[in-house]
A and B are shown apart, each in its own frame.
Chain A
């Protein structure tokens, strides 16, 4: 009887397993292929115990070559498998939001394979096939515009696979200096749920929302205390004498070489818990007000124009109405909330008699200092000070309601209406918020201030662009003063109004992104255009200090290796993606982005780089598993976290299967039914 029980128990297990496999496969496939595609050859270990066994290490080396206004960055990720199983390695990493990722090289031992750009689904299929065939393969996907994933299949036990990813980006000239930013840490995103009715039991929670949440994202970031290390080298050849070079957050060694300077991190490696920022200034200030370059590729000419408005525009005489919004959610805990409070206090202190202001704080909920913006005065300043000192971080990040509230302030033509939004931007519903700002902003300007070691710059830049303002990042406590000074200097002075570009001979220029209407003091403008011919100059016009302003710029010819065409394509893709977020024609935009990305060999939301070796390395039947290397959390945040256990029993499934079996048995037992059956 015991044996019989055992056999039937085994039969029942098989049934349960096959049923649940079938149920699972009937569900819509998850977006993150590498984790969920359990091909059967690789065994996925996803229990909390899996954390205890970590064979995968990823070490990152970054080399940036800066020529003029453009940086070519090589990111090398060495995936080392220290265990005795075959491993599929996953790694989520941040890059600049406007990085044009164009090359992938996979090196194993002596062999190097160049990656090809393909439509995302095709690339993923090619990767999955190589993985199940036991070939070495890698794929680079864009998860969000500033977040990418590398997956490497079939890393042999005790071996290393090197992945080199290269990208191009323009370097902004802002507030009289250039800044190269290499993002290293990821602030985990918070995706807010539909607000739950506090009185309703959870059974009423909206199931549609749950589906929508899962549908939006792909490979989750796995963020831990900084354990990954990084090595950085910058070769600086700006083409003009440099007055000063400084790394804002890391110790560096600076050497002079033939072309310029070489900057290297002091010590061998640093923890990747803080974005790397290198700033340099030209020896002659005001030297670089406008610069234009052109590259000829086939019949097309691609032009890059950099325009920096003068920093000495007159102060606006108009009084201002400023609404400050400050994020007090849990992710702001620690130094972040202190920086934000200090920045907010500076903002209040800079206001003048006659200005109006209000403060809104938010986390899961929001509250404001005043019901309506109030005049600046001794009592309102005192109330503001008390309000600021009472701010504590905790709770979720629900930005929508406070933004709507701030933008709903009635228009008032006698004031310059501005919103200053101070946050780390850790939200998952970025698109929805940007669309909201785009729709509701009216005449108001939105200025975003990113706080912390790794703010979500992509979102904050998009939000500022939609709000026709600008974005300021404050990484450290001691930067609050200078950066807020720059911001308020700007807020008080619109420098150039109604900007227009005039190309010679009325050339039809295809400008990659829509021109902003006006430019604030110290804010640079980078314009990328595609032209049918190569002009030698162009003319800019606008209004400055109440007068008409005209300026002619000479265009310098550069070689084909400069990558201006790729930068143009990247900028155009970014603009099309923005239209996609604001609800443009999805199919048409998708096709345009796909064509551009394939033509210019760029990673985008619809294209991936994939490299596949043609040699089978993994013997069939050998053990393997998937591992995701953790990405560093930014320093100063309390990202000590814990995962989740499996908190559902198979009781429901067993009961369902049991009843199904018994119904089937009963059906077989019933003779009348049997007779009617055609067997």
Chain B
């Protein structure tokens, strides 16, 4: 205590309290920001997508954006289900804005396996409730709408498996981290939802 003569136990308590509260508030804010960013980016990209479909040439989601939506993914029958703008390239930054398409795989709707990944706790949190037989739609920029039906749901260890890019017909593979409720990110398991083109 010789080197800090002015600080008593009471002062340490106050300092620790302030530090803990601030650190806590920052953490909670960051957590909230991840979710806000995920929703906000989807709304902005969705608006840009509609502008582009309507013929506008200014289809930037936000002025400094350097990503473009590839397709719109809709869950459920009809057009009222949850919608997501799918971005090209599975980088961490793109994943923060929306589900992403793996550029090694084919464009959704083409023959082959098209792989779309999303965060388990933001956009693809809804995969928790997907069932075999559920319907998905993918709408391309050109306005083509293709229906898929969920044919398989499985859990794999990403250290031991890879996704085959081959399929006999148009196939959609949605991947997200599993389990959904894990606190620590970066686990090895993935939930794989396979959907084939509806007949």
Contact = CB atoms under 8 A, between A and B. Distances in A.
B85 interface: no
A627 B102 CA distance: 23
Contact of B129 (A5, A191, A201): A201
Given A213-B157, A649-B34, A652-B121, A202 B27 contact: no
Interface stretch (B60-68, B69-77, B181-189): B181-189
A641 B160 contact: no
Contacts of A189: 160
B142 interface: no
Contacts of B176: 647
Interface in A183-228: 188-191, 193, 196, 198-203, 205, 207, 210, 213-214, 217, 220-221, 223
A661 B118 CA distance: 29
B24 interface: yes
Contact of B121 (A20, A196, A651): A651
Interface residues of B, number: 77
A396 B23 CA distance: 47
A659 interface: yes
B26 interface: yes
A199 B129 CA distance: 10
Interface residues on A, range: 35 or more
B175 interface: yes
A330 interface: yes
B184 A23 contact: yes
A648 B102 contact: no
Given A207-B179, A643-B162, A648-B185, A48 B17 contact: no
Nearest to A217: B160
A27 to B, nearest CB: 9
A203 B119 CA distance: 17
A189 to B, nearest CB: 7
A33 to B, nearest CB: 13
Given A8-B23, A191-B160, A642-B165, A652 B155 contact: no
- State the main secondary structure of chain B at its contact with A: mixed
A651 B22 CA distance: 17
Given A11-B23, A647-B95, A649-B185, A640 B166 contact: yes
Contact of B157 (A214, A645, A646): A214
Contacts of A8: 19, 22-23, 26
A642 B18 CA distance: 47
A645 B117 contact: yes
Contacts of A40: none
A150 to B, nearest CB: 18
B50 interface: no
A533 interface: no
Interface stretch (A271-279, A435-443, A457-465, A662-670): A662-670
Interface string B148-192: 000011110111111111111000000111111011111111110
A650 interface: yes
Given A191-B160, A643-B162, A650 B185 contact: yes
A333 interface: yes
A482 to B, nearest CB: 30
Interface in B4-49: 9, 13, 16-31, 34-35, 38
Given A23-B184, A668-B20, A198 B133 contact: yes
A376 interface: no
A193 B121 contact: no
A220 B159 contact: yes
B197 interface: no
Contacts of B128: 201-203
A660 interface: yes
A239 B24 CA distance: 79
Contacts of B90: 48, 645
Nearest to B193: A202
B104 interface: yes
Interface string A30-41: 001001000000
A295 to B, nearest CB: 41
B23 A649 contact: no
A125 interface: no
B59 interface: no
Nearest to B35: A651
Interface of A: 4-5, 8-9, 11-12, 15-16, 20, 23-24, 32, 35, 48, 188-191, 193, 196, 198-203, 205, 207, 210, 213-214, 217, 220-221, 223, 330, 333, 364, 392, 394-396, 428, 638-666, 668-669, 674, 679
Interface of B: 9, 13, 16-31, 34-35, 38, 90-92, 95-96, 100, 102, 104-105, 115, 117-122, 124, 127-133, 152-155, 157-168, 175-180, 182-191
Given A644-B117, A647-B117, 13 more contacts: A201-B131, A202-B127, A202-B128, A203-B180, A210-B178, A213-B155, A396-B152, A649-B119, A649-B122, A658-B27, A661-B23, A662-B28, A665-B16
Kindly list the 3 A-B residue pairs having the minimum CB-CB distance in the complex, ordered from nearest: A658-B27, A661-B24, A662-B24
